[in-house]
Structure formats: structure tokens, C-alpha cells
């Protein structure tokens, strides 16, 4: 198929940013500046890049952002103390703990320490519970929420659709399944959650009307695993060697785009698909947190 079957995540993210800018302007007219705090532990190169991208978008939209960096050898207690200080800061409406965290720090404990009303990443147990219960009052994790927006704004129907998700992680796979199986608009799908122990994985993939790859395996999904006309969403971010690239490596997705695109009905590119949507939903969640705080005040 031609380029027309590519879902442009950057363009759809810009639609969301346009709405977010309007909401930020309304808050600033009331004297409220949305604030987002990033917490990074250590100097992981990828983490530095990801936080930098989020900082830049915050600045472009008019969200005040700050980044707190702890040393690689910081203790869990030091990180929890920092989270506690950010929880107490009225001008901080959202807190994002950049993953991965160093060994020795229990991520679940750290995520649970962020106040649910500032948990714009959607990882606090209260927000996870609300997602599972179909309660829209919580914050949903940004990547699955971004994928849902991609589907909605691209006119992809989910009601009654066979959705196959590759990967059962807490950040994408599980929450994505929870979103799409709800008895709610833009959901009502029949969801299969596949993982490393799934038997005959390719057969499950070939049943999918919507195939979401989030397993962290470079170019894992091949053309013969995709039902003709299926919608393919590539979440993977994998660094692979490439002698022709600057630095000797480059990023690829979990889908072998070149072979799958001619088979798929719609497909996200990588980069330029899911990534921009994740950031757009993070910004949207932050503004929503600021609106709530203002309403409570």
C-alpha cells in the first residue's frame, strides 16, 4: 500500500497540543501556571534524551517544568524524600519518575509514593485501580492513552474488534488491555494479551484486526504474522547496530515496517507514531492535574 496507510502520530499529537494550549491559556488567565517535575536518577543516555524531549514540549506549550537529578548511587530513601518534597510543592501539579530506575530501587514503591492527584504517568495503585474499574477520574498511563487517541482520531473502530497486544508490561500491555476491553465508547474490543509464554504467537497475531506490538524485540512482527488490512501499532523502541548511522546504531520498532506496511490497512511509523502521542498525553494529564488543583482551591 502507499504512504496513505501510515498513521501520522506527529500530526495527531499536534491536534491534542492545540487543545492543551487553549486550556493552559485559560489557567494562566486565572493566574495558574501548570507545573511538571521530572525526576531522573543517574545519567542513563536514553533517559536524558526522553526527559529532554518532554522538557522542550513543556516549554513550547507554556508548562513550567523542572528536572531533579539524583546520582546513580542514590538510595531509595533519598528518592522517596525527593518525591515527598515535590508532593508538598503547590506549584508542582504533575510528577514524572523517569524509568528505568537503578537496581536496588523498588519502582513500585516509588510510584506509590507520588500523590495520586500528581501521578500524571498513571502508575499509582489508585490510578491503576480506577483504570481497571473504568473510572475516568484517574490518570491513565500516557502511552496506552496515546494509542487509544491514535485509534479514535484515525477513525479505527474498536467495538467488537479482535485486538492482540504483544507484551504484558505494566507500562503498555496491561493498561492497554484494560482500556480496550471496557464497556465504554472507543473500547468494547475482544482483547488477547500475548507474552513470552504464549503458544503459537503468530496464529494469534493473524487473528488481529488491531495488532499492538509492545514487547521490545526489534522488527519482531513480520508480514506473514499480519492479517491483510489489519491496523498495526508499533510501540517498540530498540537500538540496533548500524554502521552507516551516526554513532554506529539506530532506533527501530518491534514491527518490520518495510515488509508489514504493504499488508497492513493502517500502520504507525517508528519514529513518528506512538512516541509523540505519549508526550501529548503527558502534557494533557499535567494540565488536567492543574485544573483539578485549581478547582479544589
Active-site residue, 98 included: yes
Residue 140 to residue 223: CA distance in whole angstroms: 31
Q: Is residue 4 part of a domain?
A: no
Q: Is residue 90 part of a domain?
A: yes
Q: What is the pLDDT of residue 261?
A: 98
Catalytic residue among 54, 118, 130, 227: 54
pLDDT digits (tens, 9 = 90+) for 28-55: 999 999 999 999 999 988 899 999 999 9
Residue 174 to residue 142: CA distance in whole angstroms: 13
Catalytic residue among 119, 121, 209, 254: 121
Residue 296 pLDDT more than 70? no
Coil, helix or strand for 260? helix
Quick one: which H or E segment has residue 76? Answer: helix 76-88
Residue 236 to residue 111: CA distance in whole angstroms: 23
Active-site residue, 182 included: no
Residue 217 pLDDT more than 90? yes
Residue 277 to residue 271: CA distance in whole angstroms: 11
Coil, helix or strand for 287? helix
Percent of the chain with pLDDT over 90: 91
146 and 268 co-located in one domain: yes
Q: For residues 216-229, b (16+ Cβ closer than 10 Å) or e, as one string?
A: ebebbbeeebbbee
Mean pLDDT of 174-181: 98
Residue 21 pLDDT more than 70? yes
71 and 177 co-located in one domain: no
Q: Is residue 15 part of a domain?
A: no
Q: Which residues on adjacent β-strands are paired with residue 99? A: none
185 and 232 co-located in one domain: yes
The pLDDT confidence band at residue 66, using thresholds 50, 70 and 90, is very high
Quick one: which H or E segment has residue 29? Answer: helix 9-29
Angle, to 10 degrees, between the axis of helix 142-153 and the axis of helix 274-296? 110
Residue 155 to residue 189: CA distance in whole angstroms: 15
For the chain, what is the domain count?
Answer: 2
Catalytic residue among 98, 182, 261, 284: 98
With the C-alpha atoms ordered 55, 58, 59, 65, is the resulting torsion angle positive or negative? negative
Instruction: Give the three cell numbers for residue 158.
Output: 474498536
pLDDT digits (tens, 9 = 90+) for 67-92: 999 999 999 999 999 999 999 999 99
- Any idea what the CATH number is for the domain that residue 60 is in? 3.40.50.10860
Residue 157 pLDDT more than 90? yes
Q: What is the pLDDT of residue 293?
A: 96
Q: What is the pLDDT of residue 297?
A: 43
Q: What is the pLDDT of residue 2?
A: 44
Distance of CA 296 to the CA centre of its chain: 27
Do 287 and 253 meet the contact criterion of CB atoms below 8 Å apart?
no
108 and 148 co-located in one domain: no
Q: What is the pLDDT of residue 46?
A: 85
Mean pLDDT of 232-248: 90
Quick one: which H or E segment has residue 267? Answer: strand 266-267
Active-site residue, 44 included: no
Which residue range forms the structural domain that includes residue 220? 142-275
Amino acid at each position: 500500500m502507499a504512504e496513505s496507510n501510515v498513521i501520522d502520530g506527529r500530526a495527531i499529537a499536534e491536534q491534542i497540543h492545540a487543545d492543551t494550549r487553549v486550556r493552559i491559556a485559560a489557567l494562566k488567565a486565572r493566574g495558574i501556571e501548570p507545573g511538571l517535575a521530572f525526576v531522573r536518577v543517574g545519567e542513563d543516555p536514553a533517559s536524558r534524551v526522553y526527559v529532554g524531549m518532554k522538557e522542550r514540549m513543556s516549554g513550547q506549550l507554556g508548562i513550567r517544568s523542572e528536572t531533579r537529578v539524583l546520582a546513580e548511587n542514590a538510595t531509595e530513601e533519598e528518592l522517596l524524600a525527593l518525591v515527598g518534597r515535590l508532593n508538598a510543592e503547590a506549584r508542582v501539579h504533575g510528577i514524572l519518575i523517569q524509568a528505568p530506575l537503578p537496581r536496588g530501587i523498588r519502582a513500585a514503591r516509588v510510584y506509590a509514593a507520588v500523590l495520586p492527584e500528581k501521578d500524571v504517568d498513571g502508575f499509582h495503585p489508585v490510578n491503576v485501580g480506577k483504570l481497571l474499574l473504568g473510572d475516568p477520574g484517574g490518570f491513565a498511563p500516557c502511552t496506552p492513552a496515546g494509542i487509544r487517541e491514535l485509534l479514535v482520531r484515525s477513525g479505527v473502530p474498536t467495538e467488537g474488534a479482535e485486538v492482540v497486544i504483544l507484551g504484558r508490561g505494566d507500562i503498555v500491555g496491561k493498561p492497554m488491555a484494560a482500556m480496550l476491553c471496557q464497556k465504554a465508547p472507543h473500547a468494547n474490543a475482544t482483547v488477547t494479551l500475548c507474552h513470552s509464554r504464549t503458544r503459537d504467537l503468530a496464529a494469534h497475531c493473524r487473528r488481529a484486526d488491531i495488532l499492538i506490538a509492545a514487547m521490545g524485540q526489534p522488527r519482531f512482527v513480520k508480514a506473514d504474522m499480519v492479517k491483510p488490512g489489519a491496523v498495526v501499532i508499533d510501540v517498540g523502541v530498540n537500538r540496533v547496530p548500524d554502521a552507516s548511522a551516526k554513532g554506529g546504531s539506530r532506533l527501530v520498532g518491534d514491527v518490520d515496517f518495510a515488509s508489514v506496511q504493504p499488508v497492513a490497512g493502517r500502520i504507525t511509523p517508528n519514529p513518528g507514531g506512538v512516541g509523540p502521542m505519549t508526550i501529548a498525553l503527558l502534557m494533557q494529564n499535567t494540565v488536567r492535574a492543574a485544573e483539578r488543583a485549581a478547582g479544589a482551591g
